Every structure is written in structure tokens, then in C-alpha cells.
Structure 1
Amino acid sequence: MPREFEIRRQVTLPATPAQVWAAITAGTSGWMFPTESDDEAEGYRLLDDHQVLDWTPPERYALRAEQPDGSFNALEWVIEGRAGSTVLRFVHSGMLAEEDWDHEYDGAAKHTDFYLHTLGQYVSHFPGRAATYVAADAPEASLAPDGFTRLLRALGVSEVGDKLEVGLAGEPRTAVVDHLDDWFLGLRTDDALYRVFGRNAWGAPVGVSLHLFSRDANAVSSGKALRGWLDTVYR
């Protein structure tokens, strides 16, 4: 039987409430992943079949999806302006399978922290800018226990603040390490955010997403370059 969960987070972001609102409702490809638009929802940015429960710009945004089996998934963002910054309170609640609850909750909680960190990078360095989003999973070999660390070694990453040349989207760029822990890596260039997800910790391939802010970014060529690079890392 499914069992309920709740993830609560509060972060302070160096942006205005309007900038944060735009990021979580219309700019999700710049820091998370693209969400679908519903023409009947007056421009609301939705996740799958979630119903909008509250749309109060720029203060509160709430979604909920009910499933036939009685389970649900709900998300809420509450935004509060402070002097020179914005406090964002985020709640993700729903239901997970009882037999693997701890494992799934751990993955969801850690991904939440990384996504919110990336949101901070987006509103700090690329506020309001449209992004070309590219994502790819690494080959099956990345499922190994050392799958994530293998990629870190290939890049030559050691700590936050490192600067290195990376060619994940094709042409090499100078990137700074903005995040590094046992599960996730964040790289920032002057026109992109690169995110690496060590999902081998939860039984899935290592994943990489590119958030490209240059106007001439090409999803097809960048995706091909990313998949080619991943193939060389895990061959």
C-alpha cells in the first residue's frame, strides 16, 4: 500500500518575488525541466495532469494530481519578499510505495535540494532568460556504484569553486563548479548551467541536463555532443 510523504524546504533567493514567480511558473527549463502549458489555464505552467489549486501572483502557486487508486501528488510554492531577496517555501507531498518508501523518499528529498540550488543559480545569473533544455542518460555502465565518481574523474572535478574546460554541449567552455556532493554536480558557464545527477545511487543511470541560454543554442547538436561525450566516459 502507498504511504504518504512530505518534503518541506525554505530557501532565500537573491531575486525579486516577480523573478522567482516567473522562474517557477514559466521559466522551469532554466533550472529544472520544461513543463507543459495548458491553453485553458490562462498561461499557467502545469506538470502533467496536475490541477491548479491556487494561482496568486507572485505569492502562491499550488498544484495537485489525484490518481484512481487514491494516491496523489501535490506541490506548493509560497513566495515572500524581503529586503533585497525573496524567501521561497516549497512543499512536495504525495504517496510512495510502502515497500521502497525510504529509498524513494531519499531520492526525492535530495533531488529537491539540488533543484532548489539550481533555481538559485538561475535567478542569480540568468534571471528571466529563456533556456534551450537538453537532457541525456549515460550508458548502462553508469549504473555501477562508481558511476557518478567516474564522470567526476573524467571532468577533473575536485571541489566547489574549481574552474575547468568542459565540452558537454560541444564547443569547450570555461565552467565553475557551483555545487558538488556525493550525488550531484553543478557547473556554470557564462551562458549555461550543466547539471549532473548521480542517479546510480537510486538504481538509475547517471543523468545530465544542459540549460543553454545563448540565443544560438541548438538542442539537436548539443544533445548529440552530450551523448557522444557520455559514451566516451562509460565505454
Structure 2
Amino acid sequence: MSEGREFEIVREFEVDATPEQVWETVTGNPGAYLWPMEAPEPRLGGSGPFGSTVTAWDPPHRYTNLSDDVGMSVQSRNQLDYEIEPRDDGRRAWVRYVHSGIFVDDWENQYDGAGRHTDFYLHTLREYLTHFAPRPVAFSSAEGAAASATPDAIALVARELGVGESAGERVRVHGPGEFDAVLDYRTPEFIGLRTEHALVRIFGRGRWGAPVGISVHDFAPAADPKGTETAWQGWLDGVFGA
């Protein structure tokens, strides 16, 4: 293992949501676009997710957490920084997101994967803020078998789902049951589906040596996360084998 090398991933965007809505999602409802995690202690120096420390806390403008002991074989330092400013008299928000730290092994591959995942996660954040905020989320996830850890696995998933390559299209999805959706995100690695009540995120991680993953962010009042997880896991097992 090498001594490590610093990295920095910077993204900026505007969104049709108030700074307060962005802040509440990032700090209080991250399962709406990432996954459920421990809420940060609302003060400078407080505890943050996954053992991090809050190094900036200025609601609703600045939030940073830092961990110098990530506990991962490929990463030793991790920092997430959100800067939020009002636009259009506070009706919209500008966000600057910076993910930085130290990768200690397989730097190029880790940096590539982190950057591409960042784009998908931040797109999902905007989708939530635009279409579903401030609804609470019921989060589910499923993971494909080892056979899905190949670069072409996501293409097989797309064929089985019946979705194409053009984001913005309305599609009839052949998942665990059929349903209508908007193909809101599509790259060679990722598929995003938006229904009337949920965001379905599909991660083709084969180019980074990991299996296909699916997360479902369900905002329906009667959401059944366990049932959703079972259904999607069964679908994945049918595509790639348990």
C-alpha cells in the first residue's frame, strides 16, 4: 500500500429549492438522495456521520465534516463540504460541494469512481428537492451477485428493465412488476428512474470491481421498505443468480 495521495472533487449547481430545504435534506434527511446515516450534532466540533467531526456549522449556509480515520483500506482521510447560497431572493439555491481527502491505494480508479458517483448522487439530490421535498423517505437497497461485478453488467440490467440510453424519456419498466417512470439519469455506469412516488437508483460498479447495486428512495405515505428490498433483491437474483 502506498502512503497516499490527496484528492478533491468539486461540483457547483443551482436548484429550484430554498437554502433551508437544501440544508434540511443534507443534514437531516440524507436517505432521500444517499442513504440513511447518523445526523450530525448541530454544533462546531460535534460528532458527524461515520465517526466524523463537524468542522463547519452555519445553518443554512455551510456544513463540513471531516474524518481522519476512515477505516478503509483505500482511503485514510475524508472531508465533505457543503456551501449554500440563496438565489432569486431565496427562492432558489446555489450549492458548492467539495469532497476531498486521501486515497492510499489504487488512486486513479478510486478517484474515477468517486467522481462519477458524486455526479449521480448530486443529481439525485436535485431530483428529490425538485419533485419530492420535504417528504420523509423509506430507504431500501439490494446488491447483485458476484457475477454482476463486470463492466457490461449494467447493459444487461438496462435490457432486462427495458430502458434505453436517452435521459428524459418516459419508459415502461420491467422490474419486480411493471411500472411507468421517467429515465431521469443515464450513463454507461448508472440508471436513474423517477416514478410518482420514488427514485430508483441503479449502480453499475463493475468497472471498479464491485457488483451492481440498487437503492430505492420511496416517498409514498404507505411505503414498505422491507417489501421493496425483497422484491428488488429477488429481481437482481433472477438476472445474475443468487
TM-score by length of 2: 0.90
Is the 1:35–1:46 contact (alpha carbons within 8 Å) kept by the matching residues of 2?
Answer: no
Q: 1:97 offset after TM fit, Å?
A: 1.9
User: Counterpart of 2:85 in structure 1: which amino acid?
Assistant: E
Partner residue of 2:99?
Answer: 92
How far 1:143 moved relative to its partner? 1.3
C-alpha deviation, 1:27, in angstroms: 1.3
Deviation, 1:195, is 0.3
| Corresponding residue number in structure 2 for 1:29 | 31
8 Å contact from structure 1 (residues 5, 93) kept in 2: yes
- Aligned mate of 1:230, from 218, 236, 240: 236
Question: Which runs of 4 or more aligned residues in structure 1 lie more than 6 Å from their structure 2 counterparts after TM superposition?
Answer: none
1:177 aligns to what?
A: 183
C-alpha contact (below 8 Å) 1:35/1:45 kept by paired residues? no
- Whole-Å separation in 2 of the counterparts to 1:12 and 1:28: 18
Summarize deviations over 1:59-118 as a string: whole Å, max 9, x none.
0001011229994211110001111421100111100024x1000000001101110001
| Alignment-derived partner of residue 12 in structure 2 | 10
Change (3 A) 1:68 1:110: closer
Q: Per the alignment, in what secondary structure is the counterpart of residue 35 of structure 1? A: coil
CA distance in 2: counterparts of 1:220 and 1:119, whole angstroms: 23
| Aligned-partner residue type, residue 187 of structure 2 | D
Partner of 1:75: 80
Aligned to 1:20: 22
**2:142 and 2:229 in contact (8 A); partners too:** yes
SS class of match (1:36): coil
Hey, what does 1:133 align to over in structure 2?
A: 139
Deviations 1:112-169 (CA, angstroms, capped at 9, x unpaired): 111000101000000111010001111111112311100001111112122233365x
Q: How far apart, in 2, do the equivalents of 1:46 and 1:127 lie?
A: 23
Aligned counterpart, 1:157: 163
CA distance in 1, matches of 2:204, 2:116: 11
Judge conservation of contact 2:162–2:173 (CA < 8 Å) in 1.
Answer: no
Q: CA deviation at 1:6?
A: 0.7
Q: Secondary structure at the match of 2:237?
A: helix
Q: Structure 1 residues 79 and 167, CA, compared in 2 at 3 Å: closer, same or farther?
A: same
For the pair 1:166 / 2:168, whether they are aligned, the reply is no
Q: Which 5+ residue runs of structure 1 have no aligned equivalent?
A: none
Pick closer, same or farther for the CA change 1:57–1:174 going to 2, 3 Å: same
Displacement, 1:174?
Answer: 1.3
1:111 aligns with 2:113: no
Query: How far is the alpha carbon of 1:171 from its aligned partner?
Result: 5.2
**Aligned counterpart, 2:107:** 101
Normalising by the residue count of structure 1, what TM-score does the alignment of the two structures yield?
0.92
User: Structure 1 5/175 Cα, relative in aligned 2: closer, same or farther at 3 Å?
Assistant: same
- Pair 1:209-2:211 in alignment: no
- Distance in 2 between residues matched to 1:19 and 1:93, nearest whole Å: 24
Asked whether the equivalents of residues 26 and 45 of structure 1 are also in contact (C-alpha less than 8 Å), the reply is no
- What percentage of residue pairs aligned between the two structures are identical? 40
Cα distance in 2 for partners of 1:212, 1:152 equals: 21
1:191-206 equivalences under 5 Å are: 191-206=197-212
Letter in 2 for 1:91: V
Helix, strand or coil: the match of 2:220?
Answer: coil
Q: CA RMSD in A?
A: 2.0
